[in-house]
Structure 1
Amino acid sequence: MRTRYLVALCTLGLTGGLSGPVFAASDVLTYDGNGDGTITRAEFQALQKDSFKALDTDGNDFVTVAEVQALPASDGRNVTGKRLLARDGNGDGMVSEAEFLSQAPGFDRADRNNDGVLAGNELARVNKFLAKGSF
């Protein structure tokens, strides 16, 4: 279930735009390491790293289009693969964790008031998207 949640965040653009269900937790606050009810950039980056690990199904430290398309609810339109390849900075057909994280503007997109944390309506927006499961 966690996998569905992570890819949902990717789809939302919070982690940079992949689609296909992969991760489902009850909410983003799963990553609230200090328990303050907000998500900091560092906590969000932990979510992004877990997202990459969930997508890297063969554990070789790279994500390929084939891995993403093999996800249980891949949309079959190759949207997922195209979005993944957009992160392939060196053009080798695979996305490393560094490439994945360097092109993941999700925190900035989610932090609507630019205060450096995700809280309140920002978290509610993310959780609402995840509840829809509209990948």
Structure 2
Amino acid sequence: MTRLCLATTLATLAALSIGAGTAAAGPLQGRLLQHLDTNQDGGVDRGEFETAMANRFVRLDANRDGALDSDEIEIARERVARRLDAAMTVAENRMEKRDANGDGKISRAEFVRVPALFDLADKDRDGRLDKDELAAARDAFGSR
């Protein structure tokens, strides 16, 4: 039973995290904080966390019997696994695209060369990214 409880908690936390966004850890953490921080004070208190967990429980309890059975936990675990796989595929594809010379390695030059992304983010075309442009880019690029 303890393993079931731990598995449920981990699946729920992972599902909350994944549901809040996918991509790099920074944007993910920002989106998770934004999702959980309902009073917008820059942190998550116990009440906000418990509310998020209760809401997640309701979504996981497919048969609405007030408990998570092994089938519901397995469904949640499979959803999380699919989302993690998708996020890993996106990350791998992004890295493969950076390998311009096809040698299977990402050099420093290949890693930092992202002028198209910069140009997309620089909405006013002034050659610099202000806080609004950075936030918009984070939201747009981080959610893919």
The TM-score, its normalising length taken from structure 2, stands at 0.40
The TM-score, its normalising length taken from structure 1, stands at 0.42
Task: Determine which structure has the larger strand proportion and give its number.
Answer: 1
RCO higher in structure (CA 8 A, sep ≥6): 1
